[in-house]
Amino acid sequence: MRAGFHGFSLRGRPSMCRRSSPMPTLTFHDAALHGGALFGPGFTGAGWAAGQALTGTLTVPFSEVGPSLFEDIAAFCAEIPEGGAVGGYIGYEAAASLMPELGLPEGPDGLPVVHLVRYGQMRPFEPAPDAAAADVPDLTSLTSPDAQDFVPKVQAVIDEVLRGEIFQANISRRLSATLPASEGLGARFFSRMMARGAAPYAAYLPCPGGAVLSNSPELFLEISDGHIAAEPVKGTAPRSGDPITDKSHADALLASEKDRAENIMIADLLRNDLAKVCRDHSITEPAICALRSLPAVHHLYSRIEGELREGCGSIAALAAAFPCGSVTGAPKHRAMQVISRLEGEGRGPYCGTVLFMPHQGANVFSVAIRTAALAFAGETARLDYRTGGGITALSDPQAEYLETQAKAYGFEAMVR
């Protein structure tokens, strides 16, 4: 265990919580403005931590994504300073390295497909409310595809399912806001996002040309001492301030035939992906269609665990399952073809992964949902936020549109 660190998370892995000195209390705005990248408790196994003492970066634009991408990532992540970590994101279009025949389009934000940073140390901090610091300039434009745009795409997926081409596909829509660029804009947006409630895998990641702001509730992979776990999320219902209504929403989600079928289907896909890198007969499913309640929504999740084959590293395991089946559909390859055709553009950081790999402890990869990309172009900034859902034969197109609305709470918190 690293010197100066002790304590364990509920999952029994070393935390990043430094006990040798008092933990500073910082607003999210100040932490993001002055502390660089921020990683939430789901990544560290304890509380929030800021990456400091940058010692190296790996940045890969879309034009340079090639067959050796994940090998290059593994090589970069193999050198982690004692007491430090590698953190950053791998965008959805990194899948072009694994499946070049898909011809995935570039994301509209222009951010790198991969941006990883090697930090010499992680600085824990205690978040403090910072509503006063969260003002942003007035928007110059706001675009959000309406039901007339999204519903036909949902129906197109249903038609694909009924023809037997796929079992499920995850379709998303992009919400965008443009506004004048200003110093510290990413930090202010992140503080507004966190004001609605921080999810376990929240993260703020500055990168060349902008920043990635994530408030993900979903664990993609957690790898420690040869053990691997995945927790795909499928099935969403809004929270209510009324306890009776809130319980009704949760009960309806647990009983939903459509959501349960979708969740089980994706759990099967993740189990198959993990089987590529796990020892025979080691895979178990401790939870199937369990309920998790966050400040704004209820989710159904499942948990799949296994033991990695000898010599299989974390990035090799990631490549075997990337991108997460919960944001593609099944079968994955065909579902991704349908996604590209219907969405008509790349996804960027959305539906890729945010990763946190400390010198010692669990390597954690989230699914980059509830995630925004902030991109600067001269004196203008654009904030993109995608929201989507899994479509099956049981889907109701209008209900699917409303679900994407419920999942847009992070965008609304930033721009309203």
Q: Which residues are designated catalytic? A: 218, 234
User: Between 185-195 and 28-35, two packed helices, what is the crossing angle to 10 degrees?
Assistant: 150
At 190, phi and psi to the nearest 5? Answer: -65, -40
**In 237-271, which positions are buried (b, 16+ CB within 10 angstroms) versus exposed (e)?**
bbbeeeeeebeebbeebbebebbbbbbbbbbbbbb
What's the Cα-to-Cα distance from 64 to each of 72, 88, 94, 97, 114, rounded to whole Å?
12, 18, 10, 10, 10
Contacts of 244 (CB under 8 A, 6+ apart): none
What's the Cα-to-Cα distance from 225 to each of 1, 104, 303, 354, rounded to whole Å?
13, 34, 18, 20
Q: How far apart, in whole angstroms, are the C-alpha atoms of residue 106 and residue 11?
A: 37
250 near 316, Cβ under 8 Å?
no
Q: How far apart, in whole angstroms, are the C-alpha atoms of residue 266 and residue 300?
A: 12
